Structure 1
Amino acid sequence: GEGEVPDFKGSNVRVLRSGNWRREMKNPKEIVLVAFYYKTFSFSQKDYKSLAESLRNYAKVASVDCANEREICKQEGVSRRSLKKGAVMKVYPYKGHNAPIAFSSRRKLTKISLYKFVESNIPSFVSLLDSKKAGAKFAKSPNRIKIILLSNKAKIPLMLKALSKDYHNHLDFAFIPKNLPNPKKSLSENGIDLTVKGSLPAVFIYQTSIRKNKQYRGALRYDEMKKYLKTLVKRMKRSKDDL
């Protein structure tokens, strides 16, 4: 509940202390949401645990009790005074490239607003194909395997953002929003046919080197797609070694 001494044991919330702060935060492989609080947790523990669960593939969710970890809180610019109004939430960017971003105190703190806050700060290496020009540019981009997600929705899904972060060194990712016809047309003119079998969303894998395109038939879930892309990248590396 709110206003209680939190217990995050057995949940996906990482409890940060002076002993593990540096290890967890020095060069994170994903972004980290940290809730700084003083003794009692002003936000719903249940919601925070649930948030950690729903973001587990995309971001770390952590907590720091400033009553015990004064040095960390001082170092991170979280004063006892700032905690009087409740927990201070900050997002620490991927690989620690930039300064942490604080959740605006003007916004209402809810599970949904926190989820959106984290989501908006997750790095994306996905090309948004929302015009014929963008489609043509992507189609003509370097000789790599392309992963194209076609959807009725307008926003790049979190799953695709996270996969692009994991594999952008090997694969090119693109998203066609609202099933727009123009980018599909320009891809088709460049040999990438996106005729969907079944319903949307649909993912296509295009091998530029052999001009071969196929629709991904597995489950559109992060863990399933990650497994598939991992195998794909391994195969790519093997075939390069064979050349």
Structure 2
Amino acid sequence: MIPPHSPPLASPALRQWEEQGELLLPLTFLLLVLGSLLLYLAVSLMDPGYVNVLLQPQEEAKEEQTAMVPQAIPLRRCRYCMVLQPLRARHCRECRRCVRRYDHHCPWMENCVGERNHPLFVAYLALQLVVLLWGLYLAWSGLRFFRPWGLWLRSSGLLFATFLLLSLFSLVASLLLASHLYLVASNTTTWEFISSHRIAYLRQRPGNPFDRGLTRNLAHFFCGWPSGSWETLWAEEEEGSSQDV
């Protein structure tokens, strides 16, 4: 009787796969899928950067904060939730809250993408794209084309449909990731990029007042450095522009 812990055929094959590192591939893929799921839950459930009504400044602090911003761009009160909106904040009608550095409301996440969860959203897109491309490779490697095509379609139709679906999802994820990386590199949000002609603090300037250069934009987005309010940065850029003139 062969001992159950040492089958004569399985052990050499498993040992060979382990030596070739092939056992790590399924585990790595599962870990990537798990990481993608965790990032999805984090972005969906976390506070995107809601403007806290309870922490609204007193009248004296409001006057000081307003004095930091040029009078052409006064801090305004939201007409929906009546909070004093910081610069780059916007009210989301789906969430019924004002969100700091509002980017967009994602229906797939059922949450806003804003100041706090935007970096995790970009990380989710990147990890999701890796998972999709890996799945696309697995689906393609499993396809074996042969004739007659009717027999091939019956035997491989489901796998081919999966390949086409993964191709579509990969294309969408690639475009989303590329667009958000571009916005991050220029320190712009989706809302600002689409509606710059309607936003008071953008339509009065030819360029982006928040763009500090690629390195500083990336450092601030992913690491929060250098710190500082958008009102202060806008005022500094406005002062520099007036001195140049």
- TM-score, normalised to structure 2's length? 0.24
Structure number with bigger Rg: 2
Structure with the higher fraction of residues in helix conformation: 2
- TM-score, normalised to structure 1's length? 0.24
Structure with the higher fraction of residues in strand conformation: 1
